[in-house]
């Protein structure tokens, strides 16, 4: 498997709260999330959580266990690493969206938890788009509150109250049972030409700014690579006066060459 990736922080000099990495048979992307004040409950921060979780998950990727089981184990390991120093169960402690693809025999497996995206280019037919829309759906009502001028910290705190509970949305945080809520799938590797993982800061080129669609995005990735996509995202953020976000794309090709 050949991997091309790009990851750019929201602003120069600011910690990148995304993580991505790959082995010959797997790729992992973690999009960390936090809100102001989180330092009071977790001294490590969002970037630490995302990088630790991504590293743990990547290290476990060669196990024969299912992807949700591996994610649950990674969540447990990272939570245990700071349980004694931080309030890991506090609603504002760090959390993350997760995307994984893994070659397993003659299958390509994928997992998405939270608002990351996996796009599988197919040898015949349109791409398969795997994403978890639950946070987006829940967030819509709270976005309207922000737009009318309600206190942002209160709105975000109320939104976080829907996290990791039935009827809400699910992310990696302190409870490994969230992994059971991940969106998963598998396809014969002979049917898949590429596998692309995107953080929500990168996927906004399609799902927020509508500058392209998923099939066209794969065409651009093949010709110019992930960095060019992120450059377009930054230009769109500036022209629409949208605050930038960490943006990460991991593009996997030659899936059967292991």
**Listed residue (256, 254, 211, 212) closest to 3, CA to CA:** 254
Give the range of the structural domain holding residue 17, as residue numbers without chain letter: 2-132+170-199+243-253
Q: Could you tell me what percent of the chain has a pLDDT over 70?
A: 98
Q: Which helix (H) or strand (E) holds 133?
A: none
Write the DSSP symbol of residue 124: S
CA pair distance 186, 12, nearest whole angstrom = 37
35-49 pLDDT per residue, tens: 666 777 788 889 999
Residue 221 covered by a domain: no
Looking at the predicted structure, is the pLDDT value of residue 24 above 70? yes
CA distance 247 to 19: 10
Q: Where are the beta strands (DSSP E) in 132-188?
A: 183-188
Half-sphere exposure of 193 (CA within 13 A, CB side): 12
pLDDT in the model for residue 143: 77
Q: What is the pLDDT of residues 141-192, one digit of tens each?
A: 777 777 777 777 777 777 777 788 888 889 999 999 999 999 999 999 999 9
3-state secondary structure of 28: strand
Q: Of 127-136, 149-158, 195-204, which range is least confident?
A: 149-158
Residue 138 falls inside a structural domain: no
Q: Is residue 187 part of a domain?
A: yes
> Distance between CA 75 and CA 27 in Å, rounded?
17
Give a yes or no: residue 158 inside a domain. Answer: no
- Note whether residue 137 is domain-resident: no
Domain membership of residue 121 (yes or no) is yes
Give residue 36's pLDDT: 66
pLDDT over 60 (residue 237): yes
pLDDT of residue 148: 79
Average pLDDT score over residue span 103-128: 96
Tell me the per-residue pLDDT of 25-35, one tens digit each, with 9 for 90 and over: 999 999 998 76
List the CATH number of the domain containing 27: 3.60.40.10
pLDDT tens sequence across 47-79: 999 999 999 999 999 999 999 999 999 999 999
Residue 161: per-residue pLDDT: 77
The 3-class SS string of 176-204 reads: HHHHHHCEEEEEEHHHEEEEEEECHHHHH
| Six token digits for residue 130 | 């795997």
pTM: 0.93
User: Is residue 248 within 8 Å of residue 18, measured between CB atoms?
Assistant: yes
Residue 81 counted as domain residue: yes
Residue 195 lies in a domain: yes
Q: Is the predicted pLDDT of residue 6 greater than 90, yes or no?
A: yes
Number of domains in the chain: 1
């Amino acid at each position: 498997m050949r991997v091309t990736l790009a990851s750019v922080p929201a602003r120069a000099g600011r910690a990148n709260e995304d993580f991505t990495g790959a082995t010959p048979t797997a790729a992992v992307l973690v999009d960390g999330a936090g809100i102001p004040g989180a330092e009071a409950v977790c001294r490590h921060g969002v970037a630490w959580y995302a990088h630790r979780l991504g590293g743990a998950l990547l290290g476990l990727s060669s196990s024969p266990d299912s992807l949700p089981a591996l994610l649950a184990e990674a969540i447990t390991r990272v939570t245990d690493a700071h349980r004694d120093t931080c309030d890991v169960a506090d609603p504002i402690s760090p959390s993350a969206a997760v995307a994984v693809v893994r070659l397993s025999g003659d299958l390509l497996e994928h997992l998405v938890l939270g608002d990351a995206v996996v796009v599988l280019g197919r040898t015949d037919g349109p791409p398969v788009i795997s994403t978890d829309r639950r946070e987006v759906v829940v967030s819509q009502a709270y976005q309207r509150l922000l737009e009318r001028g309600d206190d942002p910290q209160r709105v975000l705190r109320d939104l976080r109250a829907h996290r990791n509970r039935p009827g809400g949305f699910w992310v990696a945080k302190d409870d490994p049972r969230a992994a059971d809520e991940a969106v998963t799938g598998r396809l014969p590797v002979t049917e898949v030409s590429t596998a692309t993982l995107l953080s929500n800061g990168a996927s906004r080129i399609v799902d927020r700014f509508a500058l392209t669609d998923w099939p066209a995005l794969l065409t651009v990735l093949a010709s110019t690579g992930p960095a060019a996509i992120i450059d377009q995202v930054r230009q769109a953020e500036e022209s629409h006066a949208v605050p930038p976000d960490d943006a990460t794309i991991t593009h996997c090709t030659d899936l059967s060459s292991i």
